[in-house]
Every structure is written in structure tokens, then in C-alpha cells.
Amino acid sequence: MSDIQIYADPARSIGYLTRIAFRAFSRALEVRTAPHGVSSGQWRFLRVLWREEGLTQRELSRRVGMREPTTVIALKSLERSGFVTRTKSVEDRRKVHVFLTPRAKTLEAELLPAVAEVNRIALEGLTPAEVDVLRKALVQVGRNLAADVREDVPTDSAA
């Protein structure tokens, strides 16, 4: 059986299975973050900013794995929601740095357990060794595809 025939069946396509898993992760997480006013799209940016705030919009785009126009839209939403402020750089007026508001900082302690719970649920039935293999395989898949389209792979690996 050729690769084309194998991947014609969605249940055998790694891309399809990854997409389905991603959507399930996003829905499970949003069920937990939405009561706090945080969408799954906003979550991705908050998670990175909790680790390091003051990043430029460009750096934030790279770390989240989004294109810059998408990041600008997401940041406007985060700003309207009262989660971030954007400040022009004093050294280079073309750069905009992103900072968390006190409200967003307090959400970290409330929302990080949600991602741990979603990951725990997702990984039920897998051994620690299987989880390690899955993590390494997904990182390699991301690298392979990023190299194909010459893009950076996000450095943040949390779900």
C-alpha cells in the first residue's frame, strides 16, 4: 500500500489526527478558561507572557507561532479585555512591547492548573515513556514542517 493510499484514510493521517487532537485540546481548555473571560486564542499569548513579559509583538508572534497580523488582532482583543498593555519602545519607536496587567497576572495561578488538568485528561492511559515519545515526536514533526516552509518553531511547548 502506498503512502497516498494510507493517508487517504483520515484515521491514518497524522495531520488529520493532530488537527482533531488540537481542536479537542482547545475546546477542553476553553471550557476552563472562558469563565475567567479568556478565550483559547488569548490563552496562548497569556501563557507566553506569564513566562516573560515585555516581549515585542514580533517576538511574541514567533513564540506563539502566529503570523504578526494575527498577533496584532489578538493583542487588541487582550487589550480590550484588560489583560495587556502595549507600549512603544523608547529605543526604537517601530517596536511595541507587551506587558501584562495586574488582572492578567492574577489569572496565572487560576488558569495554569486548568492546562495541567487538560493535559492529564488527554494523556490518560499513556505511560510516562509513551508521553515522552509523543512529546519528542511532535517536536520533530513541528521542526520538519517548519523547515519545509522556513518558519520558526514556537519555543513554548506547554499545551
pLDDT per residue rounded down to tens, the chain (159 residues): 677 777 788 888 899 999 999 999 999 999 999 999 998 889 999 999 999 999 999 999 999 988 989 999 999 999 999 999 999 988 888 889 999 999 999 999 999 999 999 999 999 999 999 999 999 999 999 899 988 877 555 554 444
Residue 130 in grid coordinates:
509513551
Q: List the one residue out of 15, 10, 11, 22 whose CA is nearest residue 148.
A: 15
Overall number of domains in the chain: 1
Whether residue 155 is contained in a domain is answered as no
Is 159 domain-assigned? Answer: no
In a domain, residue 93? The reply is: yes
| CATH for 35 | 1.10.10.10
Instruction: Render the burial of 95-121: b for 16+ CB within 10 Å, e for the rest.
Output: ebbbebeeebeebeeebeebbeebeee
Is 38 part of a structural domain of the chain? yes
- Residue 130 maps to a domain: yes
Instruction: Note whether residue 157 is domain-resident.
Output: no
Q: Which three cell numbers stand for residue 19?
A: 488537527
Q: What range does the domain containing 79 cover?
A: 3-149
Question: What pLDDT shows up at residue 124?
Answer: 97
List, in order, residues 6 or more apart from 111 with CB less than 8 Å away: 32, 33, 36, 38, 43, 46
